[in-house]
Amino acid sequence: HLSKLFYLQDTHFLLTGGIEKILRIFDLNRLDEEPRQVDNSPGSIRTVAWLHSDQMILSSCTDTNGVRLWDLRSGKIVQTLETKSPVTSAEVSQDGRYITTADGSTVKFWDANHFGLVKSYDMPCNVESASLEPKHGNKFIAGGEDMWVHVFDFHTGEELGCNKGHHGPVHCVRFSPGGGSFASGSEDGTIRIWQTSPVTHDESDLLGSEPSGKVKAVADEVARKIESGLHIGGEGNTGDTDKATDA
């Protein structure tokens, strides 16, 4: 009944959360030891993420609004980021400046140090996941029930493109660490990897194409391997704009 797991780069800790309402922290250098438990979550855990190295944890619940911030020194919730709907995705930006959340038909960006709301954008549909481009921070992606992966301008909220190709809701979208590509995972049982390319307003008539042949072939091969060894269920939405995948 594991919902999410999150490995913190440059450390040896693995964070997990799930339906039993318990956050667990595994020391990957001491696999024979029992994990540390941070319990008393107000609901089944939907998302987990590290904040400020391994000192704080973000978590959200499947049936409770908001994002909770846990201080690991006390094991207590020290603050809640208030939302009107349950948060289905929470991501800390690579530079540590922003927390990106998706709740209902809204994508929000929060100050990761002072926890104030920086930006909030209404989406064209209910979205389940959003991700901020990590290198320049000038665009973000979102995917949800309309089966598309939308690309937006971070500063204005203007839609820059739409990636089409999935045949089920998109449950997860994430940029690669360098921002050169992004991934989308869908309820249709596939993961698509899209190339990120500069999008100008004059290119709007070119958007909405399928992934390029090479990228699509790689994505299809990944999907075949996953489907042959795993039962994929679950979360998703679609998309088609720069060119495609997720995690």
Residue 225 burial class via C-beta count within 10 angstroms: exposed 0-12, middle 13-18, buried 19 and up? exposed
Distance CA 14, CA 50 (A): 10
pLDDT tens, residue by residue, 61-77:
999 999 999 998 888 99
94 is a domain residue: no
Helix (H, G, I), strand (E, B) or coil at 222: helix
Distance CA 97, CA 76 (A): 23
> From residue 49, how far is each of 6, 100, 122, 213 by CA, in Å?
6, 11, 24, 34
13 is a domain residue: yes
Ranges 65-74, 138-147, 236-245, most confident: 138-147
- Assign 2 a pLDDT band (cuts: 50, 70, 90): very low
**Phi then psi for 221, rounded to 5 degrees?**
-65, -40
- DSSP bridge pairs for 180: none
Helix (H, G, I), strand (E, B) or coil at 174: strand
- Assign 212 a pLDDT band (cuts: 50, 70, 90): very low
55 is a domain residue: yes
DSSP sequence for 18-73: ETTS-EEEEETT-TTSPPEEE---SS-EEEEEEETTTTEEEEEESSSEEEEEEETT
Which range of residues forms the domain containing residue 77? 1-86
pLDDT tens, residue by residue, 36-53:
999 788 999 999 999 987
In this prediction, residue 91 carries a pLDDT of 96
Written in H, E and C, the secondary structure of 37-51 is: EECCCCCCEEEEEEE
2 is a domain residue: yes
> Per-residue pLDDT for 101 more than 80?
yes
Share of residues in the chain with pLDDT > 70 (%): 75
230 is a domain residue: no
42 is a domain residue: yes
> Per-residue pLDDT for 244 more than 70?
no
Summarize the confidence of residues 176-193 as an average pLDDT.
96
From the CB of residue 182, how many other CB atoms can be counted at a distance below 10 Å?
A: 32
In the chain, the number of structural domains is 1
The more confident residue out of 54 and 112 is 112
* Core vs surface per residue 61-72: b (16+ CB within 10 A) or e: beebbbbbbbeb
Would you mind telling me the total number of residues written for the chain in this entry? Answer: 247
- Assign 10 a pLDDT band (cuts: 50, 70, 90): low
In this prediction, residue 53 carries a pLDDT of 74
Distance CA 130, CA 172 (A): 8
Distance CA 192, CA 190 (A): 6
- Assign 232 a pLDDT band (cuts: 50, 70, 90): very low
20 is a domain residue: yes
In this prediction, residue 217 carries a pLDDT of 52
Strand positions, DSSP E, the chain: 2-7, 13-18, 23-27, 36-38, 45-51, 56-61, 65-71, 76-92, 98-103, 106-111, 117-122, 127-132, 139-144, 149-153, 159-163, 170-175, 181-186, 191-195
Query: Which of 65-74, 102-111, 124-133, 226-235 is predicted least confidently?
Result: 226-235
Give the N- to C-terminal CA distance of the chain in Å, as an integer: 18
Query: Which of 32-36, 109-113, 201-205 is predicted least confidently?
Result: 201-205
CATH number, residue 46: 2.40.10
Distance CA 190, CA 224 (A): 8
In this prediction, residue 171 carries a pLDDT of 96
10 is a domain residue: yes
